[in-house]
Amino acid sequence: MQKPKSFRPWQPEQTTLLPPSPREWLSEDHQVYFLLDLVDELDLSEILIPAQAKDPRGEKGFDPRMMTMLLLYAYCVGTVSSRKIERACYEDLAFRVLTGNQQPDHSRISEFRRRNLDALKDLFVQILRLCQKAGMVSLGHVALDGTKVQANASKRKAMSHERMLRAEKELAKEINALMRKAEILDAQEDRRYGKGKLGSELPDELRRRQDRLARIRQARKEMEAETAAAAARQRQEHAEEAQAEAASARGADAPADEQTELTRKAEAAAAKAKATREKANEAAEDAGLQPPDLEPLACDAMPRRGLARKADGTPTAKTQRNFTDPDSHLMQSGGSYLQGYNCQLAVDSDHQVIVAVGVSNQPPDVEHLEPMLERIVASAGALPDVMTMDAGYWSDDHSGHCEGLGIDAYIATGRLQHGQPPPAKRGPLPRDADTKTRMARKLRSKKGSRIYAQRKAIVEPVNGQIKEGRGLRRFLLRGLEKVNGEWHLIAATHNLLKLFRHRRSQQQALLAASG
């Protein structure tokens, strides 16, 4: 008689006879061990020093180095929710090995990320430096692209300025009607039950409407303060330009009537700028905000959001503001609209390492080129030799700016309409050809078409690796400043994955060579 098939012993209730080694739980080349070795290569003093300065009494906290590596690994594998990270520390072997079998709760994970977001953002440059040291970045060819990432907010939670005004009036009428009804019921119930006993649901109904009215009114005031500040900045720029033109005319000994006219225009522009500045300050004070910053943006600062507004700085009827994340903006992406942010990526062609990042709530890409060039220098240490960009970055000024910096730029000038023949590749270029025509001819050349064709293979896969591969299609945090920190963390972990795979391939090559 044939013996029945036997199986391996399965006794989940039995404990191990000897303490197991974590090195036996995962493969030797697992990413967790790479991160554990990376701790000594990173400068975590900005995280460690504030933590060590705390009161030593009380319960011992988790090691900040472990918490940092935990967040880095979580973002590497696309787990960003603090509750999911906490659960993974119990259920996922890789997380348990990384934490030394410790399980920080979700509130500590969330608080650690919130408190150290700026320091975590600075890890992007440190990891980029490690990639450069490993020979993964040459800055020979860098592709720039912007991608729209959804905010932690729904576009259905936005309201236009016109609808806000209408809702305020309607809610005010409803509140007055409920107040009158409540007064009648109060009088009736006072006669029936005695004073001080209401006995109806009207106060809760009133409170809900009053809270909603307060939220809508505050959102409207903040929107009006933002558009007023934008108008004040624009008027200030016009005043400075008019003043410079008048000063130039005086320095060139222009005719007296011309100088008088330019001086008059400069004084009028200055008066308008002063009036709009006062209006912007009043709008900010009415909204309970700090006075607006009317100074020009720093050279590496992302552009400000341009909400639609009238000449006097008031919002248009269709200007919207989101209640959940007021800093986010309604943006077109893939033929539809999402409530999100414009996230910029500059990617080196050698190993698809990100060399600069930025986030703004301004949908068009064209305003992001110059600050992104400054960020490439700040993070990577130099400008690239060649840059490729799609038509969203095209402008005559950008072409000249890149040329002045010594960058061989290839910027698409637009898409050809259906049935329209492409411009000629050969033949003499007209003497009166403008900058756009010259760039179009450059892209149509054999060299230009070959270089520009590489753009989609450099930067677009990075967007896919972030959004599809790791599932980071939506921000967890809210507000432009926090989203900027999270985007830096996402980019840093992208480079971390590239560095891990590069070092692993080098080790495998050495093992193969040694036999």
- pLDDT tens digits for 204-222? 777 888 898 999 999 999 9
pLDDT for 467 equals: 94
The Cα 203–Cα 185 span in angstroms is 11
- 17 versus 123: which is more confidently predicted? 123
Six-digit token string for 153: 């907010």
Say how far residue 494 (Cα) sits from the centre of its chain: 15
Task: Check whether 201 has a pLDDT greater than 70.
Answer: no
pLDDT tens across 398-452, in order?
999 999 999 999 999 987 665 555 555 566 677 778 888 889 888 988 899 999 9
Cβ(210)–Cβ(261) below 8 Å = no
What's the mean pLDDT in 102-111? Answer: 94
Spatial CA neighbour of 343 closest among 201, 110, 151? 151
Six-digit token string for 251: 């320095």
Q: Name residue 336's amino acid.
A: S
Q: What percent of the chain has pLDDT over 70?
A: 91
pLDDT for 74 equals: 96
pLDDT for 430 equals: 74
pLDDT tier at 15 (50, 70, 90 boundaries)? Answer: low
How deeply is 58 buried, as exposed, middle or buried, from its count of CB atoms within 10 A (0-12, 13-18, 19+)? exposed
Q: What percent of the chain has pLDDT over 90?
A: 61
The Cα 227–Cα 250 span in angstroms is 35
Six-digit token string for 334: 């893939």
Six-digit token string for 183: 């007064």
Task: Check whether 57 has a pLDDT greater than 80.
Answer: no
What's the mean pLDDT in 145-169? Answer: 92
Six-digit token string for 87: 């659960």
The dihedral over CA atoms of 354, 356, 359, 360, expressed in degrees to the nearest 10, equals -130
DSSP at 200: S
pLDDT tens across 378-401, in order?
999 999 999 999 999 999 999 999
Q: Pairing relation of β-strands 386-389 and 320-322?
A: unpaired
pLDDT tens across 66-89, in order?
999 999 999 999 999 999 999 999
| Strand residue runs (E) in 256-384 | 320-322, 329-333, 336-348, 354-360
Q: List helix spans (H) across 381-479.
A: 396-404, 435-444, 446-453, 455-458, 460-464
What's the mean pLDDT in 367-382? Answer: 95
The Cα 260–Cα 283 span in angstroms is 35
Work out the number of other CB atoms within 10 angstroms of the CB of residue 189: 16
pLDDT tens across 313-368, in order?
899 999 999 999 999 999 988 788 999 999 999 999 999 999 999 999 999 999 99
Q: What mean pLDDT is reported for the chain? A: 88
